C-alpha cells in the first residue's frame, strides 16, 4: 500500500508514492502515436525494462502491502516478465484463473466487473481502469479503511548512484480517459481518485546500519481534487514510515491531463531527488549514510490509488527513465 500525501488529506495512508503534478515541468501535447525510443550506451542507460509493456505481469495478491504472487499474465513478447501488477485491498483481484483476452492490434486485456488492464499493443499503451463503486459497494470508504490500488511496479537491474549521474530524465505521456464521481457526498480529505508514480531512492551500502533505508520520490499523474499540486514533504505515517518528497511542478503541466488530451512529461529529476534526500536528512531521516551521492535509484511504481468512489481510466505510453552518466 501507499500513502496519499496531499497536505489537505486527513488520511494516514499506506505504502508508497506521491506527487509532482503530472505532467509537470516541460509538458507539451504528445502528438506522435508511437512511444519515444531512446538508445542506451555507456553514458545513457534506460533503467525501466519492458517500458512498452509487451511481456506481461506477475500478479500480486490483494493483501495490503504484501508482495505475494498469484499468477503470471503473458504478453506478446515471450521474454521473462519484469513488471508486478499490484491490486492491494481489491475485492475483485485478477489471478491465474483470469482469462487473458486478445483484443485489437494483438494487445492483451484482463477484465472483471471492477477493473480492467490492457497492454501489449504496438503503441506500447498501458490502460488501467478501476470502478470503486463496485469495489466498495454502497457505503463510502471509511477514513480508517484501506483503499483500492491498481498499479505496476518493478525493481531496476541497473541502480545508479546519484553521484554517478549528470541527469535522470523521465519521459512519459498520459491521457485521462474518464474520471466519474459516483457519490456526491465524498469528503476530499478522505476520498479521492489519483494516479501517481514513485521512485525509490535507497541506501544500498552493504554493511551500513541503514542499508535499505529509502526516500519515496513522487510524481503525481492525476488527482481529481486539484489541477495543480503543491510540494509535499513528510513522513509516511501509516505505511513504511519513510520520508515522502513530491516537489511542486515548475512550470505546471500544459496541457493539463484533466482536459482529456495526451500530455507529455520530459523532466530531469536529478536536482529534485538530491533536494529530497537533503530535506529528508534535515528532518531526521536517512541518517546512516551522509553522502547524498551514494544513494541509488532502485525501483518504481505507477498507477491508481483509490480512496474514493469513482470510475476511472488512464492510459500511459512512452515511459522512459534515462540515467545520463
Q: What is the pLDDT of residues 171-221, one digit of tens each?
A: 999 999 999 999 989 999 999 999 999 999 999 999 999 999 999 999 989
- Residue with the larger pLDDT of the pair 72 and 5: 72
For the chain, give the longest Cα–Cα distance: 55
252-299: pLDDT as tens digits: 666 899 999 999 888 899 999 999 999 999 999 999 999 999 999 999
**pTM of the predicted model as reported, rounded to 2 decimal places:** 0.88
Strand 310-324 versus strand 167-181 pairing type: antiparallel
CATH fold group of domain 28-35+44-324:
Jelly Rolls (2.60.120)
Contact assessment for residue 280 and residue 91, using Cβ atoms and an 8 Å cutoff: no
Grid coordinates in use for 26?
A: 516541460
What pLDDT is attached to residue 252? 61
Cell numbers found for residue 185: 457526498
C-alpha cell at 270: 536529478
Q: Do you know the residue count of the chain?
A: 325
Other C-beta atoms within 10 Å of 231: how many?
A: 17
Q: How confident is the model at residue 162 (pLDDT cuts 50, 70, 90)?
A: very high
pLDDT tens sequence across 297-307: 999 999 999 99
Per the CB < 8 A criterion, the answer to whether 221 and 302 are in contact is: yes
Q: What is the mean pLDDT of residues 127-154?
A: 96
**What pLDDT is attached to residue 17?**
36
pLDDT tops 90 at residue 98: yes
Average pLDDT rounded to a whole number, residues 126-138: 98
Residues 6 or more apart in contact with residue 47 via CB below 8 angstroms: 156, 158, 160, 297, 321, 322, 323
The C-alpha atoms of residue 308 and residue 103 are separated, in whole angstroms, by 30
Amino acid at each position: 500500500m501507499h500513502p496519499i500525501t496531499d497536505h489537505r488529506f486527513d488520511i494516514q495512508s499506506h505504502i508508497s508514492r506521491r506527487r509532482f503534478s503530472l505532467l509537470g515541468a516541460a509538458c507539451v501535447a504528445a502528438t506522435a502515436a508511437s512511444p519515444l525510443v531512446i538508445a542506451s550506451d555507456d553514458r545513457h542507460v534506460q533503467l525501466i525494462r519492458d517500458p512498452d509493456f509487451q511481456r506481461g505481469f506477475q500478479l500480486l495478491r490483494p493483501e495490503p502491502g504484501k508482495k505475494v504472487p498469484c499468477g503470471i499474465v503473458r504478453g506478446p513478447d515471450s521474454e521473462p516478465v519484469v513488471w508486478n501488477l499490484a491490486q492491494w485491498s481489491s475485492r475483485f483481484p485478477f489471478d491465474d484463473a483470469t482469462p487473458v483476452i486478445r483484443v485489437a492490434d494483438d494487445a492483451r486485456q484482463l477484465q472483471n466487473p471492477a477493473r480492467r488492464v490492457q497492454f501489449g499493443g504496438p503503441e506500447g499503451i498501458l490502460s488501467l481502469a478501476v470502478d470503486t463503486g463496485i469495489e466498495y459497494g454502497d457505503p463510502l470508504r471509511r477514513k480508517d479503511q484501506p483503499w483500492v490500488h491498481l498499479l505496476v511496479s518493478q525493481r531496476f537491474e541497473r541502480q545508479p548512484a546519484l553521484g554517478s549521474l549528470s541527469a535522470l530524465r523521465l519521459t512519459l505521456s498520459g491521457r485521462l480517459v474518464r474520471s466519474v464521481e459516483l457519490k456526491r457526498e465524498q469528503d476530499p480529505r478522505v476520498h479521492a481518485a489519483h494516479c501517481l508514480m514513485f521512485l525509490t531512492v535507497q541506501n544500498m551500502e552493504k554493511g551500513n546500519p541503514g542499508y535499505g533505508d529509502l526516500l519515496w520520490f513522487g510524481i503525481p499523474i492525476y488527482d481529481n481534487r486539484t489541477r495543480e499540486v503543491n510540494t509535499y514533504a513528510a513522513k509516511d505515517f501509516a505505511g513504511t514510515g519513510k520520508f515522502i518528497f513530491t516537489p511542486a511542478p515548475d512550470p505546471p503541466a500544459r496541457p493539463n491531463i484533466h482536459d482529456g488530451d495526451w500530455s507529455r512529461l520530459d523532466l530531469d529529476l536529478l536536482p529534485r531527488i538530491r533536494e529530497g534526500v537533503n530535506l529528508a536528512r534535515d528532518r531526521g531521516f536517512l541518517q546512516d549514510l551522509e553522502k547524498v551521492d551514494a544513494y541509488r535509484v532502485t525501483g518504481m511504481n505507477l498507477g491508481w490509488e483509490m480512496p474514493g468512489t469513482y470510475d476511472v481510466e488512464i492510459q500511459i505510453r512512452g515511459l522512459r527513465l534515462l540515467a545520463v552518466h
